[in-house]
Amino acid sequence: MSHYPRVEHIAIAVENLEAAISVYAAILGRLDSGRETVESEGVRIGFFDLGGARLELLEPLSEDSPVGRFLTRRGPGLHHLALEVDDIEAALERCRAAGLRTVGDAPRQGAGGRLVAFLHPEGTGGVLVELSQAPG
């Protein structure tokens, strides 16, 4: 990588996006910085800019979406940590060579036009890790 890795976002699974946005707006002392629906991941997202990283609040569009299943199994809470990478294909190759399993085979479109891929929590200390490449 040409720069130090950085936290792109921290994602929290929530049952009610509007209620969660109100809570985090009170904690952070400001309004959210945007919302987006990502049909391919089955979520509505509320964003808060944290000065170089974001906080994402994830509300499932259905109970059978990945975040919906997460909420059923574990309840609301930390869902994943996203790390920005310059080259997602090279990062995936490096991770697979290290014996890490991916969730799915190929990067896919995520929020904000980013390419994203996930590393299975069994190899990352129980944390779902997202690799995220900026568009362009």
Residues with pLDDT less than 50, the chain: 1
Give just the sign of the alpha carbon dihedral 55, 61, 67, 68. positive
Quick one: CATH architecture of 6-133?
A: Roll (3.10)
- Give the contacts of 101 (CB within 8 A, at least 6 positions apart): 119, 120, 122, 123
Q: Cα(136)–Cα(129) distance, rounded to whole angstroms?
A: 22
Q: Cα(92)–Cα(97) distance, rounded to whole angstroms?
A: 8
Domain boundary assignment for the chain: 6-133
pTM: 0.90
- The three-class DSSP label of residue 85 is coil
User: pLDDT digits over 3-39, tens only?
Assistant: 677 999 999 999 999 999 999 999 999 988 999 999 9
